[in-house]
Structure 1
Amino acid sequence: MAGNSDPLTPRAKLAVTAGKAVAAASRAAGRGSGSVIGGRVALKLDPDLLARLAQNLDVTLVSATNGKTTTTRLIAEALKAAGPVVSNALGANMPAGITSALAGGSESKFGVIEVDEKYLAGVARDTDPKCIALLNLSRDQLDRAAETRMLAENWREGLAGTKAVIVANCDDPLVVWAASSSPNVIWVAAGQMWKDDAWSCPSCGGVMQRPGDDWFCGECGFRRPTPSWVLSGDHVLDPHGSAWPIHLQLPGRANKANAASSAAVAAVFGVPPQVALERMYQVQAVAGRYDVVQFQGRDLRLLLAKNPAGWLETFSLIDPPPAPVILSVNARGADGTDTSWLWDVDYTRLTGHPIFVLGDRKLDLAVRLEVANQHFQVCDSLDQAVQMCPPGRIEVIANYTAFQDLRRRVGN
């Protein structure tokens, strides 16, 4: 690892070997990548394995409600300019999946790790990160995730006094409050399209004032910090005021924001913005997201949106009407079983698009679209929906397990 002496004890080596064997068996049985079950077995055999695997890596952690997987990938690409990188690129972002990913990177210099919001403080304790990127916090998985302010509280307490450099979005009041307990914060003006989880002050509960792009609490004085990195249109401004063009193959304003935060992280490790941003251009799709696939003679663009903030960003990047849109929603364990969040999404933004509805909870979605006065058809399968779509590229938007179902069906 990173040219240092091997930090793994015999027990840790056994745990890594056993975990890889279980993961391989899981893959052979057609049960997915096996990374989670492999990691679980390895951690059972050596509970300190994650800390051991991370100790010779320069670790960056990435956490947020939306954009974790993409930002992790962009940072990983940028840091490859400075040395080999290991990353949990497929998005297995709890301790078992992270352990599994790091076990495969014994020659790496950098670890770039996506972390589920609820596990951030614990993973930070285990991995002693050099840098932590905090992008946003909004409502998600209402049946089991704590409400957003409680997550921000967990971050604030868990990261208090950390030695890590925190790269944080100064446009999200919850992120600012969470990061403010840390002594070394680099603020990035990455923007915030979804504001409905940040109208009350996380510090005192007062009403937030939001003039233009600024925000502050009129009661306790908690306010937006001054950023040193700024997303400005198609450029990122660095702390010296230089503007660097963002050229991405990934669509939308949200991905430019992810790139701006990624450039700030890369700079912590000495990779200049120009080099970092050029490397990010190579990313065409992330775990199937944004892929355009051929299916039944049509072009389908696959878009993942798991919560209201994600759907809002996704609506901003689809082709204009009359591009057909297929929406698919499930409510299985990995999605969260509560679909009440559908009422927080502004579906009037789809006016003028022919809409086709799929998924386990298609009727919940149909009721929501009916109330929003949208024209839609409920379908039994992707095949049926595609056959009913008018000509042109089809935008397919799905939440987590629905997205995996669609990828399997189109062979992606």
Structure 2
Amino acid sequence: MAGNSDPLSPRAKLAVTAGKAVAAASRAAGRGSGSVIGGRVALKLDPDLLARLAQHLDVILVSATNGKTTTTRLIAEALRAAGPVVSNALGANMPAGITSALAGGSDARYAVIEVDEKYLAGVARDTDPKAIALLNLSRDQLDRAAETRMLAEHWREGLAGSKSVVIANADDPLVVWAASSSPNVVWVAAGQMWKDDAWSCPSCGGVMQRPGDDWYCGECGFRRPTPSWALNGDHVLDPHGSAWPIHLQLPGRANKANAASSAAVAAVFGVPPQVALERMYQVQAVAGRYDVVQFMQRDLRLLLAKNPAGWLETFSLIDPPPTPVILSVNARGADGTDTSWLWDVDYTRLSGHPIFVIGDRKLDLAVRLEVANQTFQVCENLDQAVQIAPPGRIEVIANYTAFQDLRRRVGN
């Protein structure tokens, strides 16, 4: 492995400098962080830059349909116990954003990188990761994302013979099938609330049997592996059978599952579960998610839910009725333009909550709520919804660009 004594080539240095200059100009023009455009420029000047920047780092990749950004943040906190960390903490998770993040981490020892599912195999090829965390695979952005089984196949091909330690969720059959091509897997029982993408066997197409928490294919014998780490209520069980308490400021079962996977990743690098989990307590909000903000004399908790699996997890952590709930859905490029996924979400779980609907596709959502027999009001914007919501803290659930719109409006 190349050490820090192996400096970047003049071309690579030029690429990094140019990328940073473009990013700074983009920020100055008020166009966001600039990390993506900066990374694109840098990669144009040196197509091998990502591989060069990763050379002296222990790289950890994190990929999934849900929970990537939060888990990346939890692993980064845990690994800071062992050395300096660079990470794409704001979620720019395609090659340009990843290149930009690594270019900013010259003194780091570890790189904890969130990777979009479609790019995992390519980024793994470029960065030679020490560890890869795979959390889940479910339907997402129907107009342009590959069907989940195809994504699992790309992962499986990309991981075949990989030297990385793969930390994978034993409860998700698609993830297990993808990870099984790798010679070195640590299985974590992290749970799976959303099962609608895993009723047929990814290996042979047979019908999956699901007794209790177990699963297996009755036709080819593909089955759930025995996990060495497990989420058990409010504890993580390690491979020795010791139970370590999870204390998080982040809400919900899904984040406990993210913490369990993160503890397993940290252990690969010699950070003990107790130390890893204590450090994870520092994380209060992740890129605005879970933040409680003051707006128009009210407390609003901002929750991001991008696809059916994410909405299901989010419904499980909101305050009980009659807490008011504002739902906001857009269908812009970054969200995926097909809103038919709304029909896969079980909105009857919101029964008893006063519901207020905003966002570009508020009428699509209104039709869906009508069919689910929910009581709701369609509002022009956030201000109007907050104005007419009954007293108490308001839960605000939004998909990707709707969430960014809300953050701008509340000044977060």
* TM-score (ref. length: structure 1): 0.99
Measure, in 2, the Cα distance between the counterparts of 1:2 and 1:52: 9
1:170-227 alpha-carbon deviations (Å, 9 max, x no partner): 0000000000000000000000000000000000000000000000000000000000
Measure, in 2, the Cα distance between the counterparts of 1:268 and 1:213: 26
1:225-282 alpha-carbon deviations (Å, 9 max, x no partner): 0000010000000000000000000000000000000000000000000000000000
Measure, in 2, the Cα distance between the counterparts of 1:246 and 1:152: 30
1:93-141 alpha-carbon deviations (Å, 9 max, x no partner): 0000000000000000000000000000000000000000000000000
User: Which residue number corresponds to residue 298 of structure 1?
Assistant: 298
| TM superposition shift of 1:338 | 0.3
| TM superposition shift of 1:2 | 9.8
Measure, in 1, the Cα distance between the counterparts of 2:249 and 2:4: 37
User: Which residue number corresponds to residue 65 of structure 1?
Assistant: 65
2:62 and 2:114 in contact (8 A); partners too:
yes
1:262 equivalent in alignment to 2:262: yes
User: Which residue number corresponds to residue 245 of structure 2?
Assistant: 245
SS at match of 2:377: strand
Please identify runs of 4+ aligned residues in structure 1 that moved more than 3 A.
none
Measure, in 1, the Cα distance between the counterparts of 2:265 and 2:74: 10
SS at match of 1:186: strand
Structure 1: segments with no counterpart, 5+ residues: none
Measure, in 2, the Cα distance between the counterparts of 1:409 and 1:19: 30
2:351 and 2:374 in contact (8 A); partners too:
yes
Measure, in 1, the Cα distance between the counterparts of 2:150 and 2:211: 26
* TM-score (ref. length: structure 2): 0.99
How many positions carry a matched residue from both structures? Answer: 412
1:340-379 alpha-carbon deviations (Å, 9 max, x no partner): 0000000000000000000000000000000000000001
1:2 and 1:109 in contact (8 A); partners too:
no
1:64-117 alpha-carbon deviations (Å, 9 max, x no partner): 000000000000000000000000000000000000000000000000000000
Measure, in 2, the Cα distance between the counterparts of 1:304 and 1:232: 25
1:7 and 1:52 in contact (8 A); partners too:
no
1:142-173 alpha-carbon deviations (Å, 9 max, x no partner): 00000100000000001100000000000000
| TM superposition shift of 1:6 | 3.6
| TM superposition shift of 1:3 | 6.5
| TM superposition shift of 1:4 | 2.0
SS at match of 1:332: coil
2:75 and 2:263 in contact (8 A); partners too:
yes
Measure, in 1, the Cα distance between the counterparts of 2:87 and 2:31: 21
Measure, in 2, the Cα distance between the counterparts of 1:23 and 1:336: 26
| TM superposition shift of 1:18 | 0.2
Identical residues among aligned pairs (%): 93
| TM superposition shift of 1:7 | 3.2
Measure, in 1, the Cα distance between the counterparts of 2:185 and 2:215: 18
SS at match of 1:7: coil
Judged with a 3 Å threshold, the aligned counterparts in structure 2 of structure 1 residues 298 and 2 are, in CA distance, closer, same or farther, namely farther
2:2 and 2:55 in contact (8 A); partners too:
no
SS at match of 1:257: helix
| TM superposition shift of 1:63 | 0.0
Structure 2: segments with no counterpart, 5+ residues: none
1:2 and 1:108 in contact (8 A); partners too:
no
1:30-59 alpha-carbon deviations (Å, 9 max, x no partner): 000000000000000000000000000000
Measure, in 2, the Cα distance between the counterparts of 1:382 and 1:293: 13
Measure, in 1, the Cα distance between the counterparts of 2:198 and 2:158: 21
Paired residues for 1:12-411 under 5 Å: 12-411=12-411
2:139 and 2:197 in contact (8 A); partners too:
yes
Q: CA RMSD in A?
A: 0.9
SS at match of 1:279: helix
Measure, in 2, the Cα distance between the counterparts of 1:218 and 1:323: 44
